Amino acid sequence: MHIQPLDDHVIAKIAAGEVIERPASVVKELVENSLDAGATDIHIEARGGGRQLIRVSDNGCGIRTDEVELALTRHATSKLRTVEDLERILTLGFRGEALSSMAAVSRMTLLTRSADEDVGSQVRVEGGAVRSLKQVGAPQGTIITLEGLFFNTPARLKFLKADNTERRHITTVVMNYALAYPQVRFTLQQDGRETLHTDGTGYLSDALVKLFGVDDFKRMVEVDAEPDPRSGRMAVTVRGYASEPDFSRGDRTRILLFVNGRAVQDSKVSYAVIQAYHTFLMNGRYPVAVLMIEVPPAELDVNVHPTKAEVRFRDPNAVFTAVQRAVRRAVVSHASPLADVRGGAMRSADVEQASWQTNLGAVERQHQLDMNGYIEDAGQYARAAGAIGLRHQQPDGDDPTAIPEGMGAPRKPRTLPLLRVVGQVAAAYIVAEGPSGMYLVDQHAAHERILYESFMAAYHEQAPVSQQVLDAQTVQLSPADAKLIEEYMPVLEGVGFQLEAFGPNMFTVRAVPAMLADANPQAVVASIVSDLELGETPGEGAIEDKIVRRICKQVAVKAGQVLSTDEMQSLIRQLERCESPHTCPHGRPTILHMSADQLAKEFGRAGRR
Ligand code: ADP
Ligand code: MG
């Protein structure tokens, strides 16, 4: 073929492929245009996941009659004139690509009237070609309707997912903008049903309540950090809401980030948010956060990708640090036991009152008094740590200090005395106090025990222990390992795996034991294979047990992991009701106990009592 310039239609279609990936991209571009036009009221309507119809109506400034046609051509924009303008972009759009791209791949109708004209315009475009253009009466603002999206790009049409998936993407886009622009009233209607609505009060909190529900909102704390002028770094403001430490999710999809009013995906900044919860959240749990990050426009490059979902910061570390600090401060000031003490919520009197109860023997009582003395002397922190340990205890029946376990799980009998967490040693052992002395608990071994028993309980009750993997992953194994997997397939299925042969020595992981939902399926399968390799005659019941133990080992908190007092307390509470709390599933001890007597002896106090 000879080299020839592409004609405009082909160029437009190629460009459209970049900007308009799916129906939700149309919604995004249209909503951005409405926001740029200063709309205070934006109504979005979609049918068939946007395949059939997308309509966005706004009360913005509208487009002048003499500019309507121009607005539909590529690289025509009212938002940018010079290269320098690119350095200080304050609008959401600037590439002048969206309308022309949409028009190229759909049947589009644009109805608009500019604020300073009496008559409006109506344009119909089909596959990029203008079919009609006339002057009509219209309300001020713009209504853009797309029908038959991708009707002329069958390849793209084929790649669209089920209506439900596309509907969800649309909801996400609208939700993002509704959060970023709480001063704007948003309504979203999908297939005739209103699915989302905000009131445009101007408060992020109102939008959050509308979108997440009041229960979730109540479990979030406000983040509000002004830039520090003394830092000499880029000025970063971080505002919004972040979840309390005991409100988390199994994935990071609710970490929503906005930079200068634009929803962005930035794994580094997301990680800063997760980092802010260090030691507050267990492995595999993620916070919920909605953060509005503001930086000077010149410090930000939004022109990275046609969809503008990625941005580049001149000083990414400054943003990382600012976000991490702001969230950390908000979460800590909420969760800190010191804050509680200062706030008067937990006075040391409460601690004393909630101390060990009546039926302790004389020795224990004496010991308890000593402990209280210790707590008093060790100052605020020790008092407060005590408070945290006791705070979650709610009166219920026979045991006023027990917390409910699991979700609706029947209460198991207690196999250990009630223990109170004192602290952590070497990020590996939990120091706890009980009615008869000190207990040192190996956090990893104890957690393994807890997981093992809960897994086995579910397993024996034939409760579902399996969870589908959303994005099924394939694992490639050596021929020998693949044979092993095949051989043990029934056992693996029994404990919740669902593996499907996918090619020579390859398996698709369709489901994993629920406990492993957050782990990397490849790593899990690999470690199980290595266990199988080590032998045990096939068909032996023990192999099942071995796999389960391997799974628990994989999921249990590791030595070296710093735990919050709440995490430790929750772990101890569960251990107290394990059938065999004293050993891990591999038979190693979980607890070392030193009685008050032993302690007294060691300190040479034995005779003095
Ligand atoms: P961009 O937003 O990057 O400028 P678009 O192709 O999305 O490019 O839009 C082209 C132009 O059409 C915009 O610059 C704006 O002037 C005008 N326009 C588009 N949508 C609207 C709207 N809803 N209200 C007013 N003007 C609009
Ligand atoms: Mg635009």
Between helix 316-335 and helix 267-275 the angle, nearest 10°, is 30
Closest listed ligand to the CA of 80 = 1
- Does any ligand 1 atom lie closer than 6 A to the CB of residue 123? no
Q: How far apart, in whole angstroms, are the C-alpha atoms of residue 234 and residue 318?
A: 6
CB 487 within 8 A of CB 529: no
Q: Which residue has the higher pLDDT, 90 or 248?
A: 248
The whole-number pLDDT of residue 89 equals 64
Pick from 55-59, 296-300, 318-322 the range whose average pLDDT is largest.
55-59
Average pLDDT over residues 142-154: 93
Residue nearest to atom 16 of ligand 1 (CA): 78
Q: How far apart, in whole angstroms, are the C-alpha atoms of residue 46 and residue 54?
A: 5
The whole-number pLDDT of residue 409 equals 41
Average pLDDT over residues 507-514: 86
Q: Which residue has the higher pLDDT, 334 or 571?
A: 571
> CB within 8 A of 33, min separation 6: which ones?
58, 60, 92, 93, 98, 99, 142, 144
Q: How far apart, in whole angstroms, are the C-alpha atoms of residue 384 and residue 382?
A: 5
CB 568 within 8 A of CB 446: no
Closest listed ligand to the CA of 16 = 1
Between helix 521-533 and helix 479-494 the angle, nearest 10°, is 100
Q: pLDDT exceeding 90 applies to what percent of the chain?
A: 38
The whole-number pLDDT of residue 398 equals 36
Backbone angles phi, psi at 284, to 5 degrees: 85, 0
CB 50 within 8 A of CB 23: yes
The whole-number pLDDT of residue 203 equals 94
Q: Per-residue pLDDT tens for 355-409?
A: 332 223 333 333 333 333 222 222 332 333 333 232 233 333 333 333 333 333 4
Question: Could you tell which of 31, 36, 142 is best to mutate to test the pocket of ligand 1, judged by most ligand atoms within 8 Å of the CB?
Answer: 36
Confidence of residue 108 (pLDDT cuts 50, 70, 90): very high
Q: How far apart, in whole angstroms, are the C-alpha atoms of residue 12 and residue 6?
A: 10
Minimum mean pLDDT range among 102-106, 305-309, 526-530: 305-309
How far is the centre of ligand 2, averaged over its atoms, from the C-alpha of 324 (Å)? 32
Q: Per-residue pLDDT tens for 567-604?
A: 899 899 899 988 888 888 877 889 998 988 888 888 88
Which atom of ligand 1 approaches the CA of 97 most closely? 6
Minimum mean pLDDT range among 174-178, 296-300, 349-353: 349-353
How far is the centre of ligand 2, averaged over its atoms, from the C-alpha of 159 (Å)? 24
Question: Could you tell which of 30, 31, 33, 184 is best to mutate to test the pocket of ligand 1, judged by most ligand atoms within 8 Å of the CB?
Answer: 33
How far is the centre of ligand 2, averaged over its atoms, from the C-alpha of 99 (Å)? 7
pLDDT at 550 exceeding the cut of 60: yes
pLDDT at 254 exceeding the cut of 60: yes
- Does any ligand 1 atom lie closer than 6 A to the CB of residue 79? yes
> CB within 8 A of 286, min separation 6: which ones?
248, 249, 250, 251, 252, 254, 255, 274
Q: Which residue has the higher pLDDT, 541 or 165?
A: 165
The whole-number pLDDT of residue 355 equals 31
- Does any ligand 1 atom lie closer than 6 A to the CB of residue 94? yes
pLDDT at 296 exceeding the cut of 60: yes
Average pLDDT over residues 554-561: 87
603: tokens are 């300190």
CB 243 within 8 A of CB 298: no
Q: Would you call 111 helix, strand, or coil by DSSP?
A: strand
Which atom of ligand 1 approaches the CA of 61 most closely? 25
The DSSP code for 550 is: H
Confidence of residue 178 (pLDDT cuts 50, 70, 90): very high
The whole-number pLDDT of residue 401 equals 32
Q: How far apart, in whole angstroms, are the C-alpha atoms of residue 203 and residue 223?
A: 14
Q: Which residue has the higher pLDDT, 456 or 382?
A: 456
Q: How far apart, in whole angstroms, are the C-alpha atoms of residue 54 and residue 411?
A: 52
pLDDT at 170 exceeding the cut of 70: yes
Q: How far apart, in whole angstroms, are the C-alpha atoms of residue 249 and residue 254?
A: 8
Question: Could you tell which of 70, 75, 77 is best to mutate to test the pocket of ligand 1, judged by most ligand atoms within 8 Å of the CB?
Answer: 77
Confidence of residue 536 (pLDDT cuts 50, 70, 90): low
pLDDT at 323 exceeding the cut of 70: yes
Average pLDDT, the chain: 80
- Does any ligand 1 atom lie closer than 6 A to the CB of residue 34? yes
How far is the centre of ligand 2, averaged over its atoms, from the C-alpha of 47 (Å)? 22
Which residues have their alpha-adjacent CB atom under 5 A from ion ligand 2?
Answer: 33, 93, 98
Q: Which residue has the higher pLDDT, 223 or 345?
A: 223
Confidence of residue 137 (pLDDT cuts 50, 70, 90): very high
- Does any ligand 1 atom lie closer than 6 A to the CB of residue 62? yes
490: tokens are 């029934």
How far is the centre of ligand 2, averaged over its atoms, from the C-alpha of 56 (Å)? 13
- Closest of 48, 39, 221 to residue 144, by C-alpha: 39
Q: How far apart, in whole angstroms, are the C-alpha atoms of residue 74 and residue 96?
A: 6
The DSSP code for 587 is: S
